[in-house]
Every structure is written in structure tokens, then in C-alpha cells.
Amino acid sequence: MDLLKTLLFTILVPGTVAGYVPAWLRRGEAAEAAPPAWRVAAGVLVFAVGAAVYLRCAWDFATAGRGTPSPTHPPRALVARGLYRWSRNPMYVGVVMVVLGQALGFASRADAVYGALLWAAFHLRVVLVEEPVLRRSFGAAYEGYVARVPRWFGRARPAPEPFRIP
């Protein structure tokens, strides 16, 4: 059931944030000459990696966390495996990569600006809302995780798997 709820959430929320909104923003941009093939290929690569990151994280939320990415049905267990060994928020990283991949591939300034604003909004959400909730929900386990894994980037090697909580 968590996988079905995750699929529905993914279609509605990230599908809108990383799919519909960038397409809507691009509709207002003046048509320019097609970007060079290398730029389109780079955009497709960034988009594909971002989508794969999001999907892997959504899978981990549903299977290891026994919940969904939705705030209405969050994971019941702290997810600290897979990509969560490198970053505490790889799902957001993946969504921003999807948007920036489109900005690159379509040579879209609007998508690039939107991607930067989206990153800032995600950062504020994580710091002001999600981290306090996770601290209350998982206590010492989350504090141990925070001590070992950076919020966004920075770990050269992943934290050990399975992640050991003090």
C-alpha cells in the first residue's frame, strides 16, 4: 500500500513541481535556435540522474521507512540506507536535478531561475519544518544520523550500511 501511495504522491507533487511547472514556465520564453546537441545530452543526463535519485529514495521511503514522501503519511522508521548514506535529503536533490536538467536541455533561463528558487525553498522547508519534526520523531537516532551524514552534499564515502544508530 505504501508503494501505491508513493506512486500517487510522486505523480501529483514532484510531477507538478518538476514537470508541469517548468513546462509552464518555458511556454512564455521566446523560441530560440535549438541548443547544441551536447547541451541537450547533458540536460537529459542530469534529468535522468535526478529522476533516478528521486525514484530510489521514494522506494526506500516505502520499503525501509514503511511510509511515503508525503507529509500526511511519513516514514515510520528513519531511512538511512541507499542514497541517504551520502545525504540526508537526496530526494530534494533529485527533484532539483530534474528541473535543472530541463533548464540545461531546453536552454531555459526560466527553468534555471525556478530551479534556484526551488532549492532555496527546499532548504528552508528542511531546516524550519522537517528537521525539527525528525528530531521529535526519532530523537537520538536522528541526532546520530545528523552527526554522520551532511544535509545536502559533502560525504566522500557513504556512511556504513546498515547504518548503526547509537
pLDDT digits (tens, 9 = 90+) for 52-95: 999 999 999 999 999 999 988 989 999 989 999 999 999 999 99
Residues contacting residue 150 through CB under 8 Å, at least 6 positions apart: 87, 88
For residue 6, give the nearest of 55, 48, 41 by alpha carbon: 55
What per-residue string of b and e applies to 33-49 under the rule 16 or more CB within 10 Å gives b?
eebeeeeeeebeebbee
HEC-encoded secondary structure of 32-100: CCCCCHHHHHHHHHHHHHHHHHHHHHHHHHHHCCCCCCCCCCCCCCCCCCHHHHCCCCHHHHHHHHHHH
Residue with cell string 546498515? 162
The per-residue pLDDT for 163 is 54
The per-residue pLDDT for 48 is 98
Residues in the chain, pLDDT under 70: 31-32, 160-166
The per-residue pLDDT for 142 is 93
Question: What is the Cα–Cα distance from 80 to 59, expressed in whole angstroms?
Answer: 13
Contact call for residues 91 and 53 (beta carbons, < 8 A): yes
Q: What are phi and psi of 158, to 5 degrees?
A: -70, 155
